Copies of this chain bind each other. A is one copy, B any other.
Amino acid sequence: MTPILISTLSIEQLQISAILTYTDFNKPLGSVMSKDSQAQSAKPLYAKIADELTDMIASGVLAEGDRLPSLRMLSKSHAVSVPTVVEAYRVLEDRGVVTPLNRSGYYVKRREDFFQPPKPVRPIGSPTKIMQKEATQLVMTAAQNPGLLPFGAAVPSPSLFPITRLKSIMSRLLRHKPELLGSYDFAPGSMELRRELARRSLRWGCTIDPEAIVVTNGCVEAISLALRAVTKPGDIVAVETPTYYGFLSLLEVLGLQALEIPCDPVNGLSVDEFTKALRKFDVTACLLCSTVSNPTGATIPVKKKRELAELACRHDFMIIEDATFADLHFNGETLSIKSFDTDGYVILCASATKTTAPGLRLGWVEGGKVSDQISYLKRVSSIGQPQINQLVLAEYMASGGYERHLRQLVRTIRKQLDQHCTAIADSFPSGLTAVPPSGGFLLWLELSSEIDGLELHNRALSFGIGLAPGEMFSANGLFSNYLRVNCGQVYTDEIRTAYARLGSLLTDMM
């Protein structure tokens, strides 16, 4: 497969090719498209037919919902027995690209059905006291090496940020209001910024009072304050599994227990499983990314978001919703759980600079019924945020630049995601599974079961490649053969080479 071929595909098509659903008798879809004839010739007939059909689906010749040729027709056209075609269709069904419909034949699955979930992972099902994980420590320390290729981070390339514009706003502020350097700004923070943040929350279906917003030192501090406001040591906090490792570290340092709730890589946290868990455990809070989750890229369907909001009210626990990546949803499905919050049970947290200017380091929180406590906690624990940083962002948002930038960023990262997926398909050995994220730039990969992600991380480190091994994303040591890959970096030869290197390392480890 040549990159040129792939780059002509749309993201949706690439998602199909990038599903990377390998089985022991199949080449990856991407490789099929590369017409690797040597491998093809060694294949049984049914596999060749399956590959051919997959190819047609991937290239759009067979579109979503199309009926596949009948068994008889294909048997005739390919001069093979009907059982061979049956076997080929079974392979396609296993791959998740076609679906049988009653007795009327096989159909190309709709795009959303193509997502091939990793094997379902059942968390242990009991609250877990978090212990600082070796993996997390290692990776966080490694992440501070600026020379490292940041596959393990969760940041886009700095070149994707609107630096020139922000720099010019900041320079002008310095010229006209130098006194900003000399004055304190107290929590809850600059009203100019809080007004813009409230206005932006309309995109998430929220109508938020700027007075209830507290500006924080990034989203992580927002979540830390939210947890401190609603929990005490020993309390049980429900989290997705896999969940962002930073959440687990926060639970750890606050002496909280994590209750891992199973997640679907497409639909996110299982509300049904969570409802069952609520009957068994006294849950104080549920901490999750409802839209474009980290690490899976999953988004909870709107209906389920509403159910979660109702559940919180009925069972009297707080939802801490991290909306940091919500604006990066590819189809603009950004409705939040908070938008269904009628009684203040949802605390909305977000970064305000992660996708714009991480160097300004600003996040925010709307604390629902504990807004005042959160504001007090922030003021008592660190007074407030630098005012000039807040005003730069406020002005940028007020100018409309923020929205334009986000639209452009989403376009760019979708394209990049394609490029990264293609490189992975090209370079990694078979035996991995991935789920195209609903947005953002993170890819959650399941590797062959014999691969230890942490070991891969350690080996990759010596080649200057940073990784986020799956083990970090669970309190119970799950996901040891997973990786979260940062596809936010602009695709370059260096990145291509790095994937090739990772491919070799993986092959060595198998």
Which residues of A pack against B, CB within 8 Å? Answer: 132, 137, 140, 143-144, 146, 155, 158-159, 161, 163-164, 166-167, 170-171, 174-175, 178-186, 216-218, 220-221, 224, 228, 232-233, 246, 249-250, 252-253, 255, 357-361, 376-377, 379-389
Residues of B within 8 Å of A249, CB to CB, are 380
Which of A181, A232, A361 has the largest count of B CB atoms less than 10 A from its CB? A181
Contact present for A164 and B183 (CB under 8 Å): no
The copy count of this chain in the complex is: 2
The complex places the Cα of A377 from the Cα of B132 at a distance, in Å, of 11
Contact present for A382 and B186 (CB under 8 Å): no
Majority SS at the chain A contact face: helix
Residue of B nearest to A386 (CB): B361
The complex places the Cα of A155 from the Cα of B179 at a distance, in Å, of 14
Contact present for B163 and A178 (CB under 8 Å): yes
Residues of B within 8 Å of A358, CB to CB, are 182-184
Closest beta carbon of chain B to A358's beta carbon, Å: 5
Closest beta carbon of chain B to A214's beta carbon, Å: 13
Contact present for A180 and B359 (CB under 8 Å): yes
Closest beta carbon of chain B to A163's beta carbon, Å: 5
Top 3 A-B pairs ranked by shortest CB distance? A158-B182, A221-B382, A181-B359
Contact present for A377 and B158 (CB under 8 Å): no
New A-B contacts (18) at CB < 8 Å, excluding given A140-B186, A158-B179, A360-B386: A132-B376, A155-B184, A159-B182, A161-B181, A163-B182, A167-B175, A170-B181, A181-B357, A182-B358, A183-B359, A216-B382, A221-B382, A224-B380, A224-B381, A233-B233, A246-B380, A361-B384, A386-B389
Please pick, from B161, B182, B380, the residue contacting A357 in the complex, using a CB distance under 8 A: B182
